[in-house]
């Protein structure tokens, strides 16, 4: 045990002496979260809105006025017909178009129901969500004002929200789980595979193997510091995403942390496996980056929904661990579900961990022979 601790200490020294390792470990995750955090900043100020008022009565003017005086919106243009909508979005400074139906005011007074549409530029999903949410809230406000408390259940202005360019708009909250998933697998797999191949490349691995340390102790000793630091990383990311954009963990924090530990462990074993098949650090870095980052970003459901993929990609993505972890973390963080809904994904991650360990041991033995 004492041998082992000395060995672990040495691994920490390696990490803390190499500022590049530290940057990759902590700088990149923090930067990612901050970038995403500010990119999806919930402050909406003077977003460009165009108005297409087909009714042009007293009520639509009042509602338009209320929208524009809120401080959230700024009128960019006044449109005359539907065909102008595409044009106005293409100019770029208009984030949404608000359309009042024909006889909006008349309908509201006579039938208690009026319709308006909010069409947002879906190519900027975060802003689109914010704009439509704010506009809807203001319209609802207006309805209450207009009808007075007695008639609130009868009078209705129903806003219809539509997205231009990106109809399956995903909430910006989806990014945090995605970033956690991507960062953890990248850092864990990359760091472990690099740190182990480094020993191989420098010839120190041989010396360690000849020493009384057991191979298991060597691998554990190399991986343990990264396990601890990665877990710290999870806490850092969660804290940052909570502080920067107030994203709470809806489900059980304990469950989330346990699942993160499982995912870290899985990624570390994947890193060990990568190290057993690569001879030098370049190879290990290449496999980790190209083999893990691209599939994770493209196929795991991080950005593009798996449901929309051709079947073949669906199959490919089913061997990617991030796909399952994204489901787990989204469920816990955003939907607040418990283990009942994610036990299958959890089980798959556990099985994958065992498979990676098994393959690594086999490769390691072949190498020793």
Partner 1 sequence: MSDKVIYVKNLVKKFGNFTANDNLSFEVYAGEIFGFLGANGAGKTTAIRILSGLSKPTSGEVNIAGFDAYRETEKIKKNIGYMCQKFSLYEDLTVRENIILYGGIYGMTKSLIRERLSELLAKLRFQEYENRMISALPLGLRQKLAFSVAVLHEPKIVFLDEPTGGVDPITRRQFWESIYETASRGITVFVTTHYMDEAEYCDRISIMNEGKIVALDTPEKLKKQYDADSIEEVFIKIARP
Between 148 and 212, whose beta carbon lies closer to partner 1? 212
Write down the least CB distance from residue 214 to partner 1, Å: 8
At its nearest, how many Å lie between partner 1 and the CB of residue 275? 17
Nearer to partner 1, 201 or 314 (CB): 201
Q: Minimum Å distance from CB 272 to partner 1?
A: 19
Closest-CA residue to 130 (of 169, 101, 167)? 169
Q: Minimal distance in Å, beta carbon 369 to partner 1?
A: 6
Q: Least distance from C-beta 298 to partner 1, angstroms?
A: 36
In the block, tokens 């299958």 appear at 344
CA distance linking residue 244 with residue 189, whole number of Å: 27
Taking a C-beta distance cutoff of 8 angstroms, is the pair 275, 284 a contact? yes
Name which of 210 and 312 has its Cβ closer to partner 1: 210
* Tokens representing residue 365 in the block: 């033995």
Residues that bind partner 1 (CB under 8 A): 2-3, 5-7, 10, 13-14, 17-18, 202-204, 206-214, 368-369
- Looking at the Cβ atoms of 24 and 339, the one nearer to partner 1 is 24
* CA atoms 269, 270, 271, 272: torsion sign: positive
Contact by Cβ (8 Å): 274, 287: yes
**103 CA to centre of own chain:** 43
Whose Cβ is closer to partner 1: residue 207's or residue 294's?
207
343-346-352-353 Cα dihedral, nearest 10 degrees: -130
Question: Element (H or E) spanning 8, and its range?
Answer: helix 2-17
State which H helix or E strand residue 284 sits in. Answer: helix 281-288
Q: Least distance in Å: CB of 46 to partner 1?
A: 52
At 79 the three-state DSSP class reads strand
Which residue lies nearer to partner 1 by CB, 312 or 368? 368
């Amino acid at each position: 045990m004492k041998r082992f601790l000395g060995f672990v200490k040495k691994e920490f020294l390696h990490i803390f002496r190499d500022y590049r390792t530290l940057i990759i470990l902590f700088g990149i995750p923090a930067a990612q979260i901050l970038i995403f955090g500010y990119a999806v900043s919930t402050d909406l100020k003077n977003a460009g809105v165009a108005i297409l008022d087909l009714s042009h009565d007293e009520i639509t003017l009042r509602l338009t006025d209320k929208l524009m005086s809120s401080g959230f919106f700024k009128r960019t243009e006044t449109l005359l017909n539907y065909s102008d909508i595409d044009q106005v979005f293409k100019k770029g400074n208009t984030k949404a178009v608000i359309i009042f139906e024909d006889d909006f005011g008349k309908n509201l007074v006579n039938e208690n129901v009026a319709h308006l549409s909010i069409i947002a530029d879906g190519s900027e999903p975060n802003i689109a969500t914010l704009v439509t949410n704010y506009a809807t809230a203001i319209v609802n406000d207006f309805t209450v004002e207009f009808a007075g408390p007695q008639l609130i259940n009868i009078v209705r202005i129903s806003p219809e929200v539509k997205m231009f360019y990106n109809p399956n708009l995903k909430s910006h909250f989806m990014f945090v789980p995605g970033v956690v998933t991507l960062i953890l697998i990248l850092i864990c797999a990359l760091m472990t595979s690099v740190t182990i191949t480094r020993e191989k490349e420098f010839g120190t691995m041989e010396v360690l193997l000849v020493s009384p340390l057991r191979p298991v102790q060597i691998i554990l000793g190399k991986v343990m510091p990264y396990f601890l630091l990665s877990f710290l990383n999870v806490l850092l990311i969660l804290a940052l995403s909570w502080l920067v954009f107030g994203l709470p963990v809806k489900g059980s924090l304990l469950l989330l942390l346990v699942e993160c530990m499982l995912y870290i462990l899985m990624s570390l074993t994947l890193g060990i496996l990568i190290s057993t098949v690569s001879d030098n650090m370049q190879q290990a870095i290449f496999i980790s980056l190209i083999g893990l980052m691209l599939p994770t970003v493209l196929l795991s459901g991080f950005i593009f929904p798996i449901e929309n993929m051709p079947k073949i990609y669906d199959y490919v993505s089913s061997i990617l661990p991030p796909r399952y972890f994204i489901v787990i973390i989204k469920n816990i963080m955003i939907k607040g579900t418990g283990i009942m809904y994610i036990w299958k994904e959890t089980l798959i991650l556990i099985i994958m961990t065992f498979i990676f360990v098994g393959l690594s041991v086999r490769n390691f033995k072949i190498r020793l022979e």
